Structure 1
Amino acid sequence: MPQYRIIVDLSDRMLYLLDGNIVVRGFPVGIGKMVTQTPRGEFTIINKEPNPGGPFGAMWMGLSKPHYGIHGTNDPSSIGRIVSHGCIRMYNEDVLELSKLVPIGTRVTIRQ
């Protein structure tokens, strides 16, 4: 049984899926702007909402910090850029793949 966890590296704008200490996938992400920075620290995924609508793309995975999450986007050109209100944006196909792999309760580390 895989022991998945997620590390979001803000400096290289990548989300890494780890099984134990082994990186199994890396995904490019969009992160928060200077005035609405992505929070750093240790969080967990507390819920999943497919097709939340609006700018959240195909999937919303809420973090244990209220109002923050990992989600898809209706603006794929924003991936890899510093553009969000603090959330972690992914390509829709990537967030759908990730959401199938990680259960609610998965640990998410966000670091500089």
Structure 2
Amino acid sequence: MAHHLNRRALLLGAAATALPLQVLAAPSINRANISSFVSQDWRDHFETLGQGAIVCDTASRALHFWNADGTDYRIYPTSVPRTDELTKRGYTSIVRKKVGPSWTPTASQMERFPDWEPVAGGAPDNPLGTHAMYLDWPAYLIHGTHDTRKIGRPSSDGCIGLYNEKIAELFAITPIGTQVRLI
């Protein structure tokens, strides 16, 4: 039985053969929307678990949560501050929680964007999403976002952002007083 080789078959065969070589030779791509979920150990950051612990890892763009007895460990993808100047690092804690938080631009945001207006809690365009957990540093929060393109990216003015469904989950299991470390 003779094989009939036409131009289409020849081109498809050549493309299939060349593809693995192109993939192997492709340069490393630095993507702006990526998280590398590396497990953390709470003992590397805190003396005790206390009421619970959160580590916000700005390098891997992930939030790590441990409950008070260490039996519940969760990792969430996050948005992180756009620049190192906007990133506050160190130890803090959750001092307040709010469902349907309202948002008011900070003074520095108003300098850069004078047309920005406060947004009422529950509004679909609220930059804080559906839930917010306030840190004891003024104007720094862990909150949700309606703009899912921000997760995995350096896109905030200092806050740590999560998908709305993930902040709702974290909100429900995180007591006020939970210790937080931003690295």
Q: Taking structure 2 as the reference length, what is the TM-score of the superposition?
A: 0.56
Higher RCO, 1 vs 2 (CA within 8 Å, ≥6 residues apart): 1
- From the CA coordinates, give the structure whose radius of gyration is larger: 2
Aligned-residue CA RMSD (Å): 1.8
Pairwise CA distance, 1:69: 0.4
**Structure 2 residues not aligned, in runs of 5+:** 1-49, 102-120
* Paired AA for residue 97 in structure 2: K
Identity among equivalent positions (%) equals 38
Give me the whole-angstrom Cα distance separating, in 2, the residues matched to 1:37 and 1:25.
Answer: 26
| Residue matched to 1:85 | 157
1:109 and 2:178 matched: no
Give the paired residue count.
Answer: 110
1:8 and 2:8 matched: no
SS at 1:103's partner residue? coil
**Structure 1 residues not aligned, in runs of 5+:** none
| Residue matched to 2:11 | none
Aligned counterpart in structure 1 of residue 141 of structure 2, from 59, 64, 69: 69
Pairwise CA distance, 1:38: 2.4
| Residue matched to 2:168 | 96
- Does the Cα contact within 8 Å between 1:38 and 1:88 map onto a contact in 2? no
- After superposition, residues 23-62 of structure 1 pair within 5 angstroms as 24-34=73-83, 37-52=86-101, 53=121, 54-62=126-134
Q: Taking structure 1 as the reference length, what is the TM-score of the superposition?
A: 0.90
Larger helix proportion of the pair: 2
Larger strand proportion of the pair: 1
- Does the Cα contact within 8 Å between 1:31 and 1:37 map onto a contact in 2? no
